[in-house]
Structure 1
Amino acid sequence: MDTIASFTIDHERLMPGVYLSRQDVDPATGAVVSTFDLRLTSPNREPVMNTAECHTIEHLGATFARNHPDWANRVVYFGPMGCRTGFYLVVFGKLSSAEILPLVIELFTFVRDFTAEIPGATPAACGNYLDQNLDMARWLAKRYLARDLVHAEAGDERRLLYPSPLAQAPPA
């Protein structure tokens, strides 16, 4: 089997930031789809997010993105990475990390400032509605904005472009 692209990124050098993970033409629609890696923690160097705060950011981020006046019709998906170090944002269109950054900043500002009931956090709307942590979700969003996205916004390519891929073993 071929190694998928995300497993070729050197996670030992990856910093929190906003990265274009992949860009493909969707065979079903012919539309360009861009997948962004929104990395909130340094892989293998910082603690991962607990499921409760990750779940809360998922509920808030998906709600925000799918209701955004300019982006709602372009958002395909917003959700957590299995490793719990960040989120994927999938949108229609050929975009760079720098071009999606304003939406990411808006989204995490929304999470940081959110104080109401978490959308969809009811037994009827969610399969694990009790696994939520708004305070920690807000803290993570605040840290991501102040510690990481501020550098991406300033053009720090280490926060916008993946580090060099890992060396690939030659085919057997």
Structure 2
Amino acid sequence: MSDKMNVESFNLDHTKVKAPYVRLADVKTGEHGDTIHKYDMRICQPNQDHMEMPGLHSLEHLMAEMSRNHTDKVVDISPMGCQTGFYWAMLNHDDYDGVLELVEKTLKDVLEASEVPACNEMQCGWAASHSLEGAKQIARGFLAKRDEWSQVFA
């Protein structure tokens, strides 16, 4: 691959990364100086494993709601279409260790959850596709490898 593509993750060699990890994927600066830091939270090894959609969907809902109990810097938490991880967009937050701490706190909250927030037809576009236990299983697995999160490449 010689031509640089517009999407940062399309320029990442997915055969060389080693999940699980959290990496700073991109930084955008607005015209007034605000910055968006996009973090790649890779849960599954690309092209070898993926999250099942009901658990992924519930984990998205849980992290989106619960992360904001710890900070007002979260802009968005978005699942990757390949179902291997999530992107965390943070406003004016370039503290990598702080992001790791935020992810850890949020996933620990997920393990304590008794229900998936906004898991109904009024608040969710596919309310039938959820699994609290699936979300907890994903969170438990990622937390179990906490000491690996800073190492992106094998």
Query: How high is the TM-score relative to the length of structure 2?
Result: 0.88
Equivalent of 1:11 in 14, 20, 32: 14
Q: Is the 8 A contact 2:36 2:89 kept in 1?
A: yes
For 1:137-152, what aligned pairs fall within 5 Å after superposition? 137-146=135-144, 148-152=145-149
Q: Is the 8 A contact 1:53 1:137 kept in 2?
A: yes
Equivalent of 2:52 in 50, 53, 59: 50
Return the alpha-carbon distance in structure 2 between the equivalents of residues 99 and 11 of structure 1. 25
Q: Is the 8 A contact 1:23 1:94 kept in 2?
A: no
For 1:45-84, what aligned pairs fall within 5 Å after superposition? 45-46=48-49, 48-68=50-70, 71=71, 73-84=72-83
Aligned to 1:130: 128
For 1:14-29, what aligned pairs fall within 5 Å after superposition? 14-15=17-18, 16-27=20-31, 29=32
Return the alpha-carbon distance in structure 2 between the equivalents of residues 12 and 97 of structure 1. 24
**Is 1:35 aligned with 2:38?**
yes
Structure 1 runs (4+) greater than 3 angstroms displaced = none
Q: Give the superposition deviation at 1:75.
A: 0.9
The share of aligned pairs that are identical, in percent, is: 30
Q: Give the superposition deviation at 1:133.
A: 0.8
Return the alpha-carbon distance in structure 2 between the equivalents of residues 17 and 2 of structure 1. 23
Q: CA RMSD in A?
A: 1.9
Matched residue pairs, number?
150
Q: Give the superposition deviation at 1:98.
A: 2.7
Q: Give the superposition deviation at 1:134.
A: 0.9
Listed one character per residue, the Cα deviations across residues 3-54 of structure 1 (whole Å, up to 9, x for unaligned) are 0221111111212111101011024x530110000110011122x1111111
Aligned to 1:90: 89
Return the alpha-carbon distance in structure 2 between the equivalents of residues 99 and 13 of structure 1. 26
Return the alpha-carbon distance in structure 1 between the equivalents of residues 82 and 35 of structure 2. 26
Unaligned runs of 5+ in 2: none
Q: Is the 8 A contact 1:20 1:96 kept in 2?
A: no
Larger radius of gyration: 1
- Counterpart code for 2:73: R
Q: Aligned to 1:106, what secondary structure does the other structure show?
A: helix
Q: Aligned to 2:139, what secondary structure does the other structure show?
A: helix
